[in-house]
Chains A and B, each alone.
Chain A
Amino acid sequence: MPDSNQKLSRRDFFKASGLIAAGAMGGPALLGGLRTAQAAPKAPAWTSGFSACDMCFNKCGLIARVEDGVLTKLDPNPKFLKSRGMLCARGNAGISHVYDPDRLKHPLLRKGARGEGKWQRIPWDEALDMAAEKMAAVRRDYLPCGHLFSAGSDLQSQFVGRLAEVYGSFNITSHESLCLVSNSRAFLDTFGEVPFADVLHSKYIIMAGANRFEALVTPDSMDLMTAMREHGCKLVTLDPRYTKTAALSDEWYPIRPGTDMAFMLALAHVIIGEKLYDAQWIAEKTYGIEQLTEHVKQYTPGFAAEQCGIPAEDIARIARELAAAAPTSMVYPGRRSSDYEDSTQIRRSFAIVNGLLGNWDRPGGLLAARAVGLKGVPYDAPWYDENHEDRIDAETVPMMFEHEGSFMVTRDAVLADDPYKIRGWFIYKTNPMATAPNRKKTIEMMNKMDFITVVDIAMSDTAWFADLVLPSQSYLERTDPCSGLQGSSACACVVKRDPLIEPLYESRPLFDIVKGIAGRLDLGEYFDFTMQEFRTRQLAGLPGAEEILDRDGVYYNPSKVYGIYDGRVYKTLSKKVELYNQRYEQMGIDPLPVYTPPAKVPANQFRLVIGRNALVTQGSTANNGLLHQFVPENTLWLNPEPAERLGIADGDLVEVSSAVGRQSLKAEVTDKIRSDTVYMLTGFNSLSTMQHLAHGNGASIAEVLDGKYDTVTGNAALHQTFVTVTRKVA
């Protein structure tokens, strides 16, 4: 034995001394005497581990503290550049998400009518048997496409897509057609891909159709503040509401809703008319400047002023300032564009102005996606000759995204049984009952189904109308696949999740659930792997990444940020930035955005608009105990002028009524909104009584909104609903 092992350390000495002394004293004094004698630093009574937040879609890095198997605190991961080392209030409130007393605890089978709330607890095996049997029955009676699959934004949602494909259904929808697909469409069709905004290095930003200081996007929200406070970036905001973004802007214009395109085309009019663009860049990198020049002649600042309610001289000045700061300037590409029936064309006008600024692939402008390096994990799905030819929502709109679908078009098709019948629905972590306009129609759609299986952490309204509800695990209880994230100029990175606590109740991860169902459908071979094996394949091209992920909670790929397209052609038909879109012309869609004034708000009515609050993620946080303390209910923003005319005082209970539904909530009389517009938060007044903070609280916007959609992509058009507001007599 080596000498070193025979030496008695100072600590051992004292420990031994203590033992001897304690032994000499005997009895209860022993432990106390030992502790005193040690005088060593106590090991922490908690452990910590990395994860990625799931309280919205941003997936910010975090460090969770666990004491005695219980999560006690969530902190930001300081090494996580995408969020600039921060974690927002919702991220901090993740603990309430995990320990929500309303969490689903075990599989539940509906026993009464849909929505009646009568449930029977059943064992997992019985639940999976039933889900598989019902899916097999739907496939037998209605062919594989007779089953619909829907999944929200989640690292495991890809396994719902895999289940749908191996089952044989083309019908899978995501949440995105209720959010942003028209924006993605417009920028993809202009630049060849959906860009990321390099806010940090920009000198001049026009923010329209986005509320970046409340609708948080990382790193944009943080970078915008840094750009303004430290780099002198100017921010001009167009919004019918005086949002927190508006409040922090250099200039705010309460634009008339639905007229953003007129504003953008007028900017183009000035920039082109006064030749404020980089002629060489435009000639080399863009297609269609001649057609655009001709097209925007009609859209003068004077014309736009009449439409938007913004002075013509301000529009012209902003155009000049924007161009002077180019290419480190931008019209912010925004995110949620589910607003009008011509949303794609509205966002095309945003994209075209960016094209004129020459900011593509350059610092302070719009950036291409960076290389992350994760590999796909391919599989060979079977083919079913006996099936329908296409998705149920195909060919209603010309340019729907195949991998996102359109919830609105799908719903209409299901209700009409046209072109075929859908009678089964598998839903994971998305809640169309709370997010899709015209809730009554969504209920009708659910009533059409023979069987609906919902996998979620809580009894959402969609789960409330299902047949079988299966409890899933929270993001802090499970192993997830790796995910590649784009962080603009901050980073391109990879995150993963591992369990930090034991899963609560009988909850299971979605992966285990679809694996169990697939096995019962003789499709088990497509899920014959563990999550760790899946991750290993994802990371095959990034040697050492897994160790770095374990050490830092994030892996960065030092890939190129700017000039990604140097020496490469753009992914458009013309291989250039398409100011004029050739494919649109071929398909009979306006190749340049043509402005159509929005419908006038009828007398004694208001346009209802949606928006975000930094403490709310739609219906998924309305029942969060911590966040509820900050936003206990939603209210109706109403301008003082019409409020006085209608005899409504601040705090009065009002009824909001549209062509499709009515709801009641408290009025918030405020001059932070135009007099022709009203606003309320989404996610409140759930029908599910198993959401005790959200049920019967405030108003459901989904009940009131009308169900129109963008004619190019099928994206929901949520700003086209007119409502009346009346004071309710107590």
Chain B
Amino acid sequence: MQRKLMLLAASALVMFMTVSMAFALGDGNGRKGKFLYRKNCRTCHNGATAKDLSPADMTQAEWKATFADMSKIKCSGDWTVSEEDVNDIFTYLHDYAKDSPSPAKCS
């Protein structure tokens, strides 16, 4: 029973975070997001530990869809960054997506 309650609470938390993040997504600081992405994400997304990742790997709509439900991002459970930082990282990835006005040339 206790385990069920914990699961429920965890689900509710994820749901709350997802919903609140969904509302907060966008208009972050993309420049800081680039710095945060390099510091926090590229440690694994470096082509060795995990797939090399660039904003230009996806379209803006795909980045939105990916971050709309962050629980589906495999590593999201390991993230230690704040909500604001996540939004900055999202803004960076979204603003330099492959169909953005300035697609990233390299990360």
Contact = CB atoms under 8 A, between A and B. Distances in A.
Contacts of A390: 31
Given A383-B32, A383-B35, A378 B101 contact: no
B99 A376 contact: no
A324 B89 CA distance: 49
A548 interface: no
B1 interface: no
Nearest to A391: B31
B99 A378 contact: no
A193 B102 CA distance: 10
A143 to B, nearest CB: 14
Contact of B103 (A376, A569, A571): A571
Interface stretch (A263-271, A345-353, A396-404, A652-660): A396-404
Interface string A558-584: 000000000001011101000000010
Category for how many chain A residues contact B = 20 to 34
Given A170-B31, A380-B38, A383-B32, A571 B102 contact: no
Contacts of A188: 103
A583 B35 CA distance: 27
Contact of B38 (A381, A389, A573): A381
A487 interface: no
B42 interface: yes
A376 B106 contact: yes
Given A378-B107, A383-B35, A572 B42 contact: no
Interface string A168-192: 0010000000000000000011001
Interface residues of B, number: 20
Contacts of B38: 378, 380-381
A192 B99 CA distance: 7
B18 interface: no
Interface in B26-69: 29, 31-32, 35-36, 38-39, 42, 46, 59-60
> What does DSSP make chain B's interface, helix, strand, loop or mixed?
loop
B106 to A, nearest CB: 4
B105 interface: yes
Given A170-B31, A383-B32, A571-B59, A376 B107 contact: yes
Interface in A360-409: 376, 378, 380-383, 389-390, 399, 401-403
A366 to B, nearest CB: 18
A57 B19 CA distance: 50
A572 B103 CA distance: 11
A573 B99 contact: yes
A100 B68 CA distance: 60
Contacts of A403: 102, 105
Interface in B66-107: 96, 98-99, 101-103, 105-107
B42 A399 contact: no
Given A380-B38, A380-B39, A380-B42, A571 B107 contact: no
A389 B29 CA distance: 9
Given A380-B35, A402-B96, A403-B105, 15 more contacts: A193-B103, A378-B42, A378-B46, A378-B106, A378-B107, A380-B38, A381-B35, A383-B32, A383-B36, A401-B101, A401-B102, A402-B102, A403-B102, A569-B59, A573-B60
9 contacts: A170-B31, A192-B99, A376-B106, A378-B38, A380-B35, A381-B38, A383-B35, A569-B59, A575-B59
Q: Which 4 A-B pairs have the closest CB atoms?
A: A376-B106, A383-B35, A402-B102, A380-B38
